Amino acid sequence: MLNQNLSQKLLQKLSPQQIQLMKLLQIPTAQLDQRIKEEIEVNPALEAATEDEEEFAQVEESEAGPTEDIQEPNDEFEPEVSEPEINKDDDLDMTEFYDESDEGVAEYKTKDPNEFADPDDEGKTIPVAVSSTFHEYLEEQVGMLPVSDREKAITMHLIGSIDDDGYLRRDLDAIIDDLAFSQNIMTDEKELAYLLSLIQGFEPAGVGARTLEECLLLQLRRKDDPTMHTDNAIRIIEKQFDAFAKKHYEKLEKSLGLDAHDLKMAVGEIISLNPKPGGSFSGGLGADQFIIPDYIITNNNGELILTLNSANAPELRISNTFRDMISDYKKAKIKSKSQKEAIMFIKQKIESAKWFIDAIQQRQNTMIVTMQTIMELQYEYLVSGDETKLRPMILKDVAEKTGLDISTISRVANSKYVQTEFGTLLLKSFFSESLTNDEGEEVSTREVKKILSDLIGMEDKNDPLSDQKLTEYLMEKGYNIARRTVAKYREQLNLPVARLRKEL
């Protein structure tokens, strides 16, 4: 049975402006320029101002009331985006978008977007070296092989199957099937193995290997001046690779009949090899290998000065062409239906452009407020660069001081970098949990990790410290933590267990 009833519900939903700001906050400086270009492409009412253009009047904010502030996004509510309802039969009030008697500028232009920008940053683009990629380098060497066109096609297919590390990890049977289906070339495993051996003679040494053992052997056998230690290194790889990988040096001495000196020299030969020959190739550096800082912090005699990368504060404006179209429509005595429809389109695009400009401005303000709070909390660390001075700090601490939501702080800290006198640091690295020492003081877990890293760095590599020994040393320094916690911190620092840190 169907029933109708009335009910009241109190809901909070994200507006389109909130969604836009939420997405912009997550974008680092390196990607903001591309996001702005995408917005300009889809919205002809939005333009990027250029330095050599003269100042001209901007579109005025609505006289009906101030533009609705973009509220802080809250992830607890689902976004609901709806298009504004348009009544085409009603006449349009153009004063909302254009008033010829008012030459004032819009509110978003009264704020200096470069207030926190680096004065030395002229907005220059970072030059990227143009060079051949790793695979192009290998393909160039194919031209020096005495092979037929058919064999050359197979060789090029093999090179295409080599990964960025320089390994051929695909089975030869699968490559045979690929050649048959994609290029109608029939071959067998014997021919593929022969052509692969030619590729393994290419530079860099070790390329085309199918396993780590094969990669190391290829490099050892291509030594220009092999010695007795080179031969011993080959024997270790061929006969006792597992024992070498697990650093069972006593077993290697007994099984291969080597004394401690010869074993040390042979192991030194192996350690000097490159396990990823493709990774050592210097060509084809991508733009993603450049780190563009979002903030710059300078120390002026103990006073920390924060500047925002100028790319975070781009000059955007409403298109002058759209402004002229509104002016022409206002002056027209007869307004056709098609003109009204065109003006409604212009109205939507201008409103969307104003939303985007306001979101960029609020993104800038939010980033500055957040970073200034982090600077206050981590002042000692930013002045000294000593990781032991890093205070325990979580997202909640910054959110309480700024009055922003934790989700907003999380988005600001996501993938952002800050340039300091001690290097360019990931903003997330300033956040850490806390633990209490013997004196009852809260210290950062980063401080404990730094001490742990220093202990391992200074240990005797012939007799490295076990996790239990490390725990005892930390307890002596006043950090009462369990051995399993020490093991967890060691793993987070990408440090192996004591046995694998042992050296001859």
Query: One digit per residue, pLDDT tens: the chain, 504 residues?
Result: 677 888 887 766 666 667 777 777 777 877 888 888 888 888 888 887 665 543 443 444 444 344 444 444 454 433 343 444 444 444 545 555 555 444 444 444 444 545 555 555 554 555 555 567 888 899 999 988 888 999 999 999 999 999 989 999 999 999 999 999 989 999 999 999 999 999 999 999 999 999 999 999 999 999 888 889 999 999 999 999 998 888 888 888 888 888 888 898 999 899 889 999 988 665 444 444 577 888 899 988 888 898 888 766 667 888 878 777 777 777 766 667 777 787 788 888 888 888 888 888 888 888 899 999 999 999 988 888 887 788 888 888 899 999 988 888 888 888 888 899 888 888 888 888 777 766 666 677 878 888 898 888 888 888 888 889 898 888 888 888 888 888 888 888 888 888 888 876
Q: What are the domain boundaries of the chain?
A: 16-60+113-122+286-432, 133-210, 434-501
Amino acid identity at 448: V
3-state SS, residue 317? strand
Three-class secondary structure of residue 357 per DSSP: helix
Question: Using CA atoms, how far apart are residues 181 and 490, in angstroms rounded to an integer?
Answer: 49
Q: What is the spatial distance between Cα 165 and Cα 278, in angstroms, rounded to a whole number?
A: 4
Q: Give yes or no for a contact between 18 and 73, defined as CB atoms under 8 angstroms apart.
A: yes
Q: What is the CATH number of domain 133-210?
A: 1.10.10
Encoded tokens for 443: 């210290």
| CATH number given to 434-501 | 1.10.10.60
Q: Which of 469, 440, 435, 437 is nearest to 452 (CA)?
A: 469
Q: Do 133-210 and 434-501 show the same overall fold?
A: yes
Cis peptide bond N-terminal to 204, omega within 30: yes
Amino acid at 153: A
Give the single-character DSSP code of 184. -
Q: How far apart are CA 433 and CA 125, in angstroms?
A: 38
In whole angstroms, how large is the CA radius of gyration of the chain? Answer: 32
Q: Indicate the pTM of the whole model.
A: 0.57
